[in-house]
Structure 1
């Protein structure tokens, strides 16, 4: 999506891109807001660029990969997630107070916000629609095993499930278990196994065979 407001986004049309009805409405609203002086085009471009390239699950994947490969960093992350995450450059709104919870062979962690949609933007980007939905927010507490099944995750009956409720004061990041068969992998390669849902607890990391070249 281009943001050359002086050309009214003609760039897309020059290349024959067909915009959806939603995209057209967004463009029209953006144009009106800019023309009325309510929105600064430069500020809007910076905001969009931030969430497209700088903020997102790839940040959290890097945190997890480092924790998997560096025991000292893992210990730091579990003791002071805010500082450990900030050391990698991931700070900002919705990530001021972070707590990391580690999955183990005995315990699986899952995160929800029962009141609204508190979510760690600096490491996971913007929350998915389902995370903000009332059914997820209620069922994650009452029937976490059933919710995981809906996401395609079936855990052994003996594995305990802990549900963590994010608030305006604290946001959580799940540290999933490192998949077997990844000994000697670089942090960069390990990060390719980490999914957004595995850091919320509604999913698991990919297996090596899923990303092996």
Structure 2
């Protein structure tokens, strides 16, 4: 091999593209289905972009305000428990948006489960990962794992303890299994020490995990907590 060929091979090795993670079967299916729908005129690429941006910006804040308002207003609480989709509109969530008719996975029967001194609710989707996205946003990664889905329905108390939630023996744990056409959200009990709080103050302590049922709201534990971070071992200067 000549010196020129050796240099050429060396340059080629330096410019090889880095390896990337292999895409999953679900991602391949999504790409194929999306491109087919666009080709068939079911929706445009612009409409798909608009819906994706809409879906990505949804979070649990409206649900937190719904719970906080229910704690303060008995009439609104009655509305939330009897007509949860109407109560959702009162906190800025219309389950028909942004398409005007909802989506097959989101426009469903929706129910708010009220915790009591003797019953604690927690939601799961044992077969898939069904979740009330229009009002809670995208589900956390752990909610979608087989580890959570399979174990919660069999051993709810030990799983809740792994989240740091230990319930008294006299409290019944109601595991509510979501499905394709039925979504749930938990309305936890109002914690002590919040008697004179405003809706905004109360909403801050109603975290996403409280709304799923793997945590309880506590004064001082808010959605705005800044966690301590460790400095880099070798910081860039």
TM-score, normalised on structure 1?
Answer: 0.75
Match of 1:50 in 2: 54
2:185 corresponds to 1:167: no
Distance 1:194 1:210 in 2: 9
Query: Could you tell me whether the CA contact under 8 Å between 1:95 and 1:121 is conserved in 2?
Result: no
Q: What are the ranges of 5 or more consecutive residues in structure 2 without an aligned counterpart?
A: 1-19, 22-30, 97-102, 225-237
Match of 2:111 in 1: 99
Distance 1:210 1:196 in 2: 12
Query: Could you tell me whether the CA contact under 8 Å between 1:113 and 1:137 is conserved in 2?
Result: yes
Distance 1:135 1:122 in 2: 25
Please, what is the CA RMSD of the aligned residues? Answer: 2.7
Match of 2:227 in 1: none
Which 4+ residue blocks in structure 1 deviate beyond 4 angstroms? Answer: 37-45
Q: CA offsets, 1:108-162, max 9 Å, x none?
A: 0010111111100011111111111112111111000011011110111111100
Distance 2:183 2:45 in 1: 31
By how many angstroms is 1:103 displaced?
A: 0.8
Give the aligned length.
Answer: 181
Distance 1:88 1:97 in 2: 18
2:155 corresponds to 1:178: no
Distance 1:125 1:68 in 2: 22
Q: Which has the larger radius of gyration?
A: 2
Match of 2:67 in 1: 64
Match of 2:10 in 1: none
2:204 corresponds to 1:200: no
Match of 1:209 in 2: 220
Q: Which of these residues, 84, 88, 92, is aligned with residue 87 of structure 2?
A: 84
Distance 1:81 1:44 in 2: 28
2:165 corresponds to 1:153: yes
